[in-house]
Amino acid sequence: MSALPIMISTENQGIGSIFDEEFIDRVRASASPSPVSEELYGKEPTFFEKLEALGYKGNRMDVEGFPEKQQLVMVQGDEGRPDEAPYLPTLEELQDTRQHLIGGALASKQGGILGTGLIQGKEVVDFFKDIFTDRMEKGTAKDAFEDSMMDMRNNAVGRKLFKKAGLNVTTGELIIDADNVIIEQIKRLMGNPPKNKTVNRQVESGQPQLYFPTKEDGSFAIRRSPNN
């Protein structure tokens, strides 16, 4: 069997290459109506617009170049969750999950084995930054480890999306696949609400993890400095 090529694709529709410094910012921008998302979604609803259809809430901002649209941004407090389903993941959690699904999928698409290794290596580096630098303002080593495992899991789910879609899949198609996996998971949670306010965070093989590690009071276990 021949080895996989190091560079599988240079097609980087909309959000650029995973090796670009602005990659994460572009992934986040692609979730809402924006010049980035227009290239990916066309006239179809964006990720955040699909969440709105499920009852998620957010503040809206004008989008430069798109006078007829406004960008949905995350809100504080209830973090945008539907009023009737406060047990669902927050917009912040969903944005993070989406980022790692897309990162894992495009690492395989754009960089092959090398891309996969680099993105997993970054998670390890980030874990040690949490432990040995001041970037983590709140949380323990155990919390940082659980958070890192969540990220790695979601990267792996992204790689499976690419493997299932095949070598000829476009970046836009992969991003929509990632969105749909998250939307399907949310719908499963909405169809099986917790009876005792305890959310079942267990996920089956191939499903993304949507929830950050939390403390007993329900607050996020980790809070990082906004400058890191």
Q: Which pLDDT tens digit goes with each residue over 57-107? A: 876 666 565 555 555 555 544 678 888 888 899 988 999 999 999 988 888
Pick out the chain residues at pLDDT < 70.
Answer: 1-16, 59-78, 113-121, 124-125, 127-128, 196-198, 225-228
pLDDT for residue 183: 96
- How many distinct structural domains can be found in the chain? 1
Q: Which domain holds residue 167?
A: 87-224
pLDDT for residue 130: 72
For residues 63 and 37, is the Cβ–Cβ distance under 8 A?
A: no
Spatial distance between the Cα atoms of 38 and 65, rounded to a whole number of angstroms:
11
Cα distances from 65 to residues 14, 19, 36, 217, in angstroms, run 16, 27, 11, 42
Coil, strand, or helix at residue 66?
A: strand
Is 6 among the domain residues? Answer: no
pLDDT for residue 217: 77
> What torsion, rounded to 10 degrees, do the Cα atoms 50, 10, 16, 225 define?
100
pLDDT for residue 128: 64
Is 36 among the domain residues? Answer: no
Is 14 among the domain residues? Answer: no
Tokens in use for 70? 């406004």
pLDDT for residue 10: 36
Is 102 among the domain residues? Answer: yes
